[in-house]
Structure 1
Amino acid sequence: MTPLEASLVALAGVAAGAINTIVGSGTLITFPTLLAFGVPPVTANVSNAIGLVPGGVSGAIGYRRELAGQRGRVLRLASGTFIGAVLGAVLLLVLPPGAFEAIVPVLILLGLVLVVLQPRISAWVARRHEHLGGVPEHGAWWVWPAVLLVGVYCGYFGAAQGVLMMAVLGIGVDDTLQRLNGAKNILGTLGNGVAGMVFVLLAFDTVDWRVALLIAVGSIIGGQLGATWGRRLPAAVLRVLIVVVGVTALVVFLAR
């Protein structure tokens, strides 16, 4: 890898760290960049997952005010993310290429529909739970299984997993989008971190540590930038941004 290519990978890491903090689809920048520079797909995916972990930590720190009071909720949902990410990472290593990616566009489209309809669905869910005594602090009963499934997706590939996670949390948990975005950052970082550990333990030779380091350095910077910008966005603007990134993800996958 030439110095120019290394610089571009680091810059892609900055962009990915910022987008992951605000929405959660930074892989759509780093993964194609690595492929363009000749990094094999599995190596690119594995190295990218590891490299984005420090950026996720950086973004989560930037959202620490929004995370106040969510400790119990995050810990409960984190167990689902942990299990799902382990399963997803193992699937990446044992399934034929493309076996799981065939349903990725469907998952992204589902996430977009849920994000767009989230206000109406949330209002309906709130009315329904009003008769049952309100929505539990940790969310509706189906939120944990849904978070587990998003964790599987995150462990396998992860692009646009933030769109899916925000759809799940926005509909099933009674809280503001900005606070839920803070929780999403923790869960997404955990998913990448767990997947990274599985890759290191089971497929150490597939990791390109130079690539992972370049992305890590860039994503740390991007995580802080994303937190600075993302925390100032109104809920409607954040929802529009999620949809824009999600549509971009869908186009990228369909064009492959």
Structure 2
Amino acid sequence: MGNVRSRPVNTGQATLLFLGGIGSGLTGSMAGLASLVSYPALLAAGIPPIAANVTNTVALLSSAAGSAAGSRRELRGQGRRILRHGVAGVAGGTAGALLLMSTPSDAFERIVPGLIVLGALALLFREPLRAWYARPGRRPPLGVAVFLIAIYGGYFGAAAGVLLLAAMSLAAAEPLAVTNAVKSIVLGFSNVAAAVLYALFAPVHWTAAALLAAGCLIGSWIGPALVRRTPEKPLRVAIAIAALTLAGFLWHTA
């Protein structure tokens, strides 16, 4: 664990992590896809899967901060709503982190490809999933949905933002930019809860986390301005295809 925390990063890896952070912040704030960019960047930098996962969660705290700064217009008057769902996010994120820390590393490596496929499918079939979820009798209370999604977010997190955005968009008739901004902050609550446990008990690679976080802060600050005027469907499809390719590669190597 100690070796992972202090493993040096060369110039090429540092550049990859910083640029991956910018891409992660952009896609996370625009479409809830942060981990589908940042996690592969950490793997490409040579960080083992569990260390990459916990490092990713810690680094993505800056994504929530950047989204909050870039979404001040959309977040006006949303304080009570954020606090209410944030409580469920904290509970779920804590549960997910505890679950991850009790999962053996070899088992996690076998589970990850399936989780990435789940995230990719959620992207590709987001509209049909929304329609199915909206049918009478199939939609749990939003607080329950937030809690369950936060467990997934604390455990792994790829496309957790997509799932949370889908759930929250069904519960409120408002512009997508507002729902997206609230989603980013609520997901941030989940990440904070998990990150505290990871910082204390898991093999966080702090140099990689700092580089990734710096890029995430920039990307997530820019993202809300772009989401107001940019169609995100092509982005969703491209990242979903890349995620399926990554899942296939990880499944083969595992």
- TM-score, normalised via structure 1 length: 0.82
Whole-angstrom CA distance in 2 between matches of 1:11 and 1:168:
30
Separation in 2 of the partners of 1:118 and 1:178? 20
Which digits, 9 at most, give the CA deviation of each residue in 1:147-189, with x for residues without a partner? 1111011101111111111111122333221110011110122
Q: Counterpart of 1:66 in 2: which secondary structure?
A: helix
Which residue is 2:24 aligned to?
Answer: 16
| Alignment match, 2:72 | 64
Which of 99-108 and 38-47 deviates more? 99-108
- 2:211 is matched with which residue: 214, 236, 245? 214
Summarize the Cα distance change of 1:76–1:114 in structure 2 as closer, same or farther, 3 Å threshold: farther
Paired amino acid for 2:210:
L
Contact 2:153 2:191 in 1 (8 A): yes
Distance 1:223 1:106 in 2: 24
Work out whether residues 177 and 224 of structure 2, in 8 Å CA contact, stay in contact via their aligned partners in 1.
no
Does the CA contact (< 8 Å) of 1:74 and 1:183 recur in 2?
yes
Partner of 2:87: 79
**1:77 Cα deviation (Å)?**
1.0
Letter aligned with residue 74 of structure 2: E
Note if contact 1:160-1:246 (Cα within 8 Å) is conserved in structure 2.
no
In 1: Cα distance, 2:78 partner to 2:168 partner? 13
Partner Cα separation in structure 1 for residue 99 and residue 130 of structure 2: 34
Q: Work out the CA distance in 2 between the residues paired with 1:27 and 1:143.
A: 23
How many corresponding residue pairs? 238
Cα 1:8–1:194 change in 2 (3 A) is: same
Q: Equivalents in 1 of 2:209, 2:90: separation in Å?
A: 21
| 8 A Cα contact 2:26 2:222, kept in partner | yes
Distance change in 2, residues 1:241/1:177 (3 Å): farther
CA distance in 2, matches of 1:87, 1:100: 17
1:1-256 matches, within 5 Å, as 1-96=9-104, 97-98=108-109, 101=112, 104=115, 107-108=118-119, 111-112=122-123, 115-117=126-128, 142-203=141-202, 206-233=203-230, 237-238=231-232, 241-242=235-236, 244-256=238-250
Task: Give the Å deviation of 1:28.
Answer: 1.9
Sequence identity (%):
32
CA contact (8 A) 2:121 2:240 kept: no
User: 1:244, 1:170 → 2: CA distance?
Assistant: 22
Runs of 4+ with deviation above 6 angstroms: none
- Which runs of 5 or more residues in structure 1 are unaligned? 129-139
